[in-house]
């Protein structure tokens, strides 16, 4: 298929972007100036285009500027930092292109940027000092303790402590970015409150503001703690086995594909590979969320960052450390935290305009109260508050602190919960979109089934000699790693089948293997083995295997038989599909397998619809058909042939970090450890996250509207406005933290 990314080179991802975006003909990127333009032909969905381009640039940003690699079917120009890739539909098409500049996507800090837990502790200290000296100042003022300057000095210390972090941040923003932010607004209000003699209100404002800042940093720290555990689990050293004997310790960067590495008990596997000597079990919980140790023997796959528990194991490296499953997951999480959700981008844009609108409205209301209602401009007269005091109250209650935190706090908490429990999201957009789906399409092999065959029976002709067929099949397949062989060997061992001493093994190309037992030839393989030679006429009369089963024939000197095998259905598939049906979500199987095989699995699992015998192109057409009927569809798959329909779906979900690279490239959600039940966890998490985002927006905007009305009519004092504003910020943070500690299983 041409719909999958051809290589790990960054230009491969650009090629995929051009292929999957209707109407997009070319893209031009300047890595130095961080500018990007796209050429379109005809009508395009600009919002979808910008979102897809943002995800592509986030994935390739670190590679920009490196040498570009030409992709089949595309033209490529690279001059200095400027790269232009195009896929013209015809020779005259460029004359009709419409070039449009697209804003370089705003990227959040990487996952470990908030990893320093001392930041929230430092803010907590500042908030505590503010509270202690503020209370001391309030007590001294109300009880007339000490000289007149005492309570003023105590208040001043409290204000410095409470406003220190806000002052540092404001100074950086004003000097470096030439903009004012919420921190500046809070300081302005505090200074204004002091100017009108409201020292206690100013201290209360900065105490609550610094407390909410500490709360926010604490939430981010808890959010990233589980994610950062993956970074720390990456091994730094490895014991390399030297050809000819001996071993030496080397940095993991020096390991190459094909190298043999020794891992002792308690050590981490330094790269992905396959065991060739030894037996043990590995702790893969940091990678998959699975707490049960996984047995490892010869031929089993091992993964970087997992822990070897009890036996010395030697394995052959199959992936470089930088390309390992662990590093792939780390990159996915980093990308997820960089990509903003659509609603988050909206509030960011809204927040900047909103801040300026608030400043303008407060300035306008100052003059309205002063000149229109004849209130004193700065001094409170009797029981009447001044115009400036009311303007400061209005400024406090309309500042968008809670609004700005309402979405990112929930998104980060959801990503962290997922990373801990085996669900990886590639950004906030995936979390929001998954909550809206009403159709789930699934591949069969490797998704609803395990992809591992299991023996369901033996048959002999003539009947009654099934044990001999069993013994011959075991002997022939004992040293093979083919999926059919693994199933036969596994079944034979479970039955304690006697192992025969066969000799002279050789392969029969494309059909099977042969050997000798007691001087007689024995063959094992496909039905075609029987349909050639003296048994051809008789073999054509043998019964065909049931449609849902695979068969392996065994031929000896005086007996013929077969082994019947079936792809094992995942134990949790039936429960997951039943729960999806209860949630009113339509379930569909899209598979390339035969209809009889697919329908037998569908009936057993209770799927709503089956579409079998599909090519990758037909799977894409099926996805697009659902979308044309207004359905929001999630596609769950694991193989290379699933990549095109994953790209076509509204939400793409890949099975396991062990799935194909092509599927993982397309996936917005990854279900670790090949656990289909994690799809339910992801769906429930997305529903909860979307509900909490809505709650946060209602809380933050609701408090603003109510308090603003009260402030305009002079109903509330500054202290109440401060408490309501900062209280809503704390509530929003705590509400988002419910995602981190809640259960979505």
- What pLDDT does residue 440 have? 94
Phi-psi group of 447: left, alpha or beta (phi > 0 → left; psi -120 to 50 → alpha; rest → beta): alpha
Q: What is the CB neighbour count within 10 angstroms for residue 62?
A: 11
Q: Exposed, middle or buried, 661 (CB in 10 Å: 0-12/13-18/19+)?
A: middle
Average confidence (pLDDT) over 645-662: 70
Tokens describing residue 291: 């707490």
- CATH architecture of the domain with residue range 423-449+571-682: 3-Layer(aba) Sandwich (3.40)
pLDDT in tens, 193-240: 677 676 877 787 777 677 766 765 665 565 455 455 555 556 778 899
**Helices and strands (H and E) in the chain: how many:** 23, 27
Contact criterion met (CB below 8 Å) for 280 and 294 = no
Contact criterion met (CB below 8 Å) for 188 and 371 = no
The secondary structure of 337-376 as a DSSP string is: HHSPPHHHHHHHHHHHHHHHHHHHHHHHHHHIIIIIS---
- What pLDDT does residue 438 have? 92
Band of residue 115 on the pLDDT scale cut at 50, 70, 90: very low
pLDDT in tens, 472-489: 888 888 766 566 777 888
The answer for residues whose C-beta is within 8 angstroms of residue 241's C-beta and 6 or more apart is 247, 259, 260, 261, 262, 314
237-327 fold: 2.70.150
Share the mean pLDDT of the chain: 77
Alpha-carbon distances of 216 from 369, 523, 635, 711, rounded to whole Å: 36, 69, 35, 27
Average confidence (pLDDT) over 267-279: 87
The secondary structure of 248-306 as a DSSP string is: EEEEGGG--TT-EEEE-TTPBP-S-EEEEE--EEEE-HHHH---S-EEE-TT-EE-TTP
Distance between CA atoms of residues 226 and 557, nearest Å: 61
pLDDT > 70? residue 537: yes
Distance between CA atoms of residues 314 and 328, nearest Å: 23
What is the spatial order of strands in the sheet that 280-283 belongs to? 294-296, 280-283, 307-308
3-17, 291-305, 490-504: range with lowest mean pLDDT: 3-17
- What pLDDT does residue 140 have? 87
Quote the percentage of the chain above a pLDDT of 70.
76
> What does DSSP say about strands 280-283 and 294-296: parallel, antiparallel, or unpaired?
antiparallel
Three-state DSSP state, 573: helix
pLDDT in tens, 120-160: 788 888 888 988 998 898 888 888 777 878 888 898 999 89
- What pLDDT does residue 439 have? 94
Please enumerate, as own/partner, the contacts of 257-260 that have beta carbons within 8 Å and a separation of 24 or more: 257/317, 257/318, 257/319, 257/320, 258/316, 258/317, 259/316, 259/317, 260/314, 260/315, 260/316, 260/317
pLDDT > 70? residue 607: yes
- What pLDDT does residue 216 have? 59
Tokens describing residue 391: 């303007």
Q: What sign does the CA torsion over 224, 230, 233, 235 have?
A: negative
- What pLDDT does residue 298 have? 86
Q: What sign does the CA torsion over 417, 422, 428, 432 have?
A: negative
Q: What is the pTM of this model?
A: 0.56
Burial code (b: 16+ CB inside 10 Å, e: under 16) for 684-695 equals bbbbbbbebbeb
Do the domains at 423-449+571-682 and 451-569 have one common CATH topology?
Answer: no
- What pLDDT does residue 566 have? 82
Average confidence (pLDDT) over 532-540: 71
pLDDT > 60? residue 6: no
Tokens describing residue 54: 């943002």
- What pLDDT does residue 30 have? 81
pLDDT in tens, 285-321: 555 444 456 778 888 888 887 888 878 899 998 877 7
The end-to-end CA distance of the chain, in Å, is 36
Contact criterion met (CB below 8 Å) for 286 and 234 = no
Band of residue 37 on the pLDDT scale cut at 50, 70, 90: confident
Distance between CA atoms of residues 568 and 446, nearest Å: 9
3-state class percentages of the chain: helix first, strand second, coil last, to nearest 5: 50, 20, 30
Distance between CA atoms of residues 302 and 70, nearest Å: 34
Tokens describing residue 514: 């042969």
Structure-token match 């996250």, residue found: 689
Contact criterion met (CB below 8 Å) for 610 and 635 = no
Average confidence (pLDDT) over 343-354: 53
The larger pLDDT score, comparing residue 187 to residue 117, is at 187
DSSP state for residue 211 in the 8-state scheme: H
Band of residue 1 on the pLDDT scale cut at 50, 70, 90: very low
- What pLDDT does residue 394 have? 84
Report the catalytic residues: 443
The secondary structure of 112-160 as a DSSP string is: GGG--THHHHHHHHHHHHHHHHHHHHHHHHHTT-S-HHHHHHHHHHHHH
Distance between CA atoms of residues 705 and 722, nearest Å: 14
The answer for residues whose C-beta is within 8 angstroms of residue 120's C-beta and 6 or more apart is 214, 215, 217, 218, 220, 221
Tokens describing residue 600: 């037998």
pLDDT in tens, 504-529: 777 665 567 888 887 788 888 877 77
Average confidence (pLDDT) over 393-411: 75
Contact criterion met (CB below 8 Å) for 733 and 217 = no
Three-state DSSP state, 247: strand
Tokens describing residue 139: 């007590």
**What element of type H or E holds 562?**
strand 560-569
With both helix axes pointing from N to C terminus, report the angle between 199-233 and 718-741 in degrees, rounded to the nearest 10: 20
The answer for residues whose C-beta is within 8 angstroms of residue 545's C-beta and 6 or more apart is 551, 562, 564
Distance between CA atoms of residues 287 and 333, nearest Å: 12
Structure-token match 């790209």, residue found: 647
- What pLDDT does residue 730 have? 78
pLDDT > 70? residue 661: no
Query: Which CATH superfamily, name and number, covers 451-569?
Result: Calcium-transporting ATPase, cytoplasmic domain N (3.40.1110.10)
Three-state DSSP state, 479: coil
Burial code (b: 16+ CB inside 10 Å, e: under 16) for 609-643 equals ebbbebebeebbebbeebeeeebbbbbbbbbbbbb
Distance between CA atoms of residues 282 and 269, nearest Å: 9
Phi-psi group of 720: left, alpha or beta (phi > 0 → left; psi -120 to 50 → alpha; rest → beta): alpha
Band of residue 379 on the pLDDT scale cut at 50, 70, 90: confident
pLDDT > 60? residue 183: yes
Q: Exposed, middle or buried, 452 (CB in 10 Å: 0-12/13-18/19+)?
A: middle
| 43-47, 49-53, 717-721 — most confident range | 717-721
Quote the percentage of the chain above a pLDDT of 90.
8
Half-sphere exposure of 542 (CA within 13 A, CB side): 24
Identify any residues that bridge with 37 across adjacent strands, giving them in sequence order: 28, 101
Three-state DSSP state, 626: helix
- What pLDDT does residue 294 have? 73
The larger pLDDT score, comparing residue 345 to residue 394, is at 394
User: What are the boundaries of each domain within the chain?
Assistant: 10-105, 111-233, 237-327, 423-449+571-682, 451-569
């Amino acid at each position: 298929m041409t719909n999958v990314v051809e290589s790990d080179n960054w230009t491969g991802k650009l090629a995929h972007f051009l292929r999957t975006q209707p109407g997009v003909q070319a893209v031009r990127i300047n890595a130095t100036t961080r500018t990007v333009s796209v050429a379109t032909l005809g009508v395009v969905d600009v919002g979808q285009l910008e979102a897809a381009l943002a995800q592509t640039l986030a994935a390739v940003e670190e590679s920009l500027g490196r040498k570009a690699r030409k992709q089949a079917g595309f033209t490529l120009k690279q001059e200095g930092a400027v790269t232009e890739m195009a896929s013209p539909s015809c020779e005259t098409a460029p004359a009709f292109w419409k070039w449009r500049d697209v804003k370089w996507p705003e990227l959040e800090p990487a996952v470990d940027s908030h990893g320093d837990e001392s930041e929230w502790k430092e803010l907590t200290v500042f908030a505590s000092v503010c509270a202690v000296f503020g209370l001391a100042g309030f007590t001294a003022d109300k009880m007339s303790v000490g000289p007149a300057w005492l309570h003023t000095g105590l208040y001043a210390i409290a204000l410095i402590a409470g406003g220190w972090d806000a002052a540092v941040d404001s100074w950086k923003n004003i000097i470096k970015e030439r903009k004012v932010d919420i921190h500046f607004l809070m300081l302005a209000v505090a200074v204004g409150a002091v100017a009108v003699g409201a020292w206690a209100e100013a201290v209360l404002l900065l105490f609550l503001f610094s407390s909410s800042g500490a709360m926010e940093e604490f939430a981010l720290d808890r959010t990233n703690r589980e994610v950062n555990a993956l970074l720390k689990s990456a091994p730094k050293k490895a014991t390399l086995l030297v050809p000819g004997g001996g071993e030496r310790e080397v940095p993991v960067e020096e390991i190459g594909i094909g190298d043999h590495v020794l891992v002792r008990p308690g050590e981490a596997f330094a790269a992905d590979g396959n065991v060739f000597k030894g037996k043990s079990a590995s702790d893969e919980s940091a990678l998959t969320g699975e707490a049960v140790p996984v047995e490892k023997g010869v031929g089993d796959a091992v993964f970087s960052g997992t822990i070897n528990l009890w036996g010395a194991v030697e394995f052959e490296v199959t992936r470089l450390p930088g390309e390992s499953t662990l590093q792939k997951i780390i990159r996915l999480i980093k990308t997820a935290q960089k990509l903003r959700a659509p609603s988050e981008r909206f509030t960011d844009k809204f927040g900047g305009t909103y801040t300026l609108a608030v400043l303008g409205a407060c300035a306008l209301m100052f003059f309205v109260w002063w000149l229109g209602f004849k209130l004193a401009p700065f001094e409170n007269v009797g029981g009447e508050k001044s115009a400036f005091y009311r303007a400061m109250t209005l400024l406090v209650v309309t500042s968008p602190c809670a609004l700005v935190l309402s979405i990112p706090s929930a998104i980060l908490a959801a990503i962290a919960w997922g990373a801990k429990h085996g669900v990886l999201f590639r950004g906030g957009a995936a979390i929001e979109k998954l909550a809206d789906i009403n159709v789930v399409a699934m591949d069969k092999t490797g998704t609803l089934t395990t992809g591992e065959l299991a023996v369901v029976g033996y048959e002999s002709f003539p009947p009654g000699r099934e044990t001999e067929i069993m013994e011959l099949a075991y002997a022939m397949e004992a040293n093979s790693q083919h999926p059919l062989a693994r199933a036969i060997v596994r079944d034979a061992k479970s039955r304690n089948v006697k192992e025969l001493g066969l000799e002279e093994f050789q392969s029969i190309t494309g059909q099977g293997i042969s050997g000798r037992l007691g001087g007689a030839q024995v063959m094992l393989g496909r039905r075609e083995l029987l349909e050639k030679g003296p048994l051809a006429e008789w073999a054509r009369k043998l019964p065909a295997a049931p449609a849902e089963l695979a068969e392996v024939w065994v031929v000896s000197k005086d007996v013929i038989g077969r082994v019947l095998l079936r792809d094992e259905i995942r134990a949790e598939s039936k429960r997951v599909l039943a729960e999806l049906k209860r949630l009113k979500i339509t379930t569909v199987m899209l598979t390339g397998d035969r209809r009889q095989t697919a329908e037998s699995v569908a009936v057993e699992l209770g799927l709503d619809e089956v579409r079998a015998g599909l090519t990758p192109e037909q799977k894409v057409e099926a996805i697009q058909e659902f979308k044309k009927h207004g359905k929001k569809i999630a596609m769950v798959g694991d193989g290379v042939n699933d990549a095109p329909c994953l790209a076509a779906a509204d939400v793409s979900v890949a099975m396991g970090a062990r799935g194909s690279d092509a599927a993982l490239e397309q996936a917005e959600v990854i279900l670790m450890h090949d656990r289909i039940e994690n799809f339910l966890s992801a769906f429930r998490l997305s529903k909860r996250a979307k509900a909490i985002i809505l709650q946060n927006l209602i809380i933050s905007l609701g408090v603003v509207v109510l308090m603003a009305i009260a402030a305009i009519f002079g109903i509330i004092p500054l202290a109440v406005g401060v408490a309501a504003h900062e209280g809503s910020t704390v509530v929003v943070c705590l509400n988002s933290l419910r995602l981190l500690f809640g259960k979505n299983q």
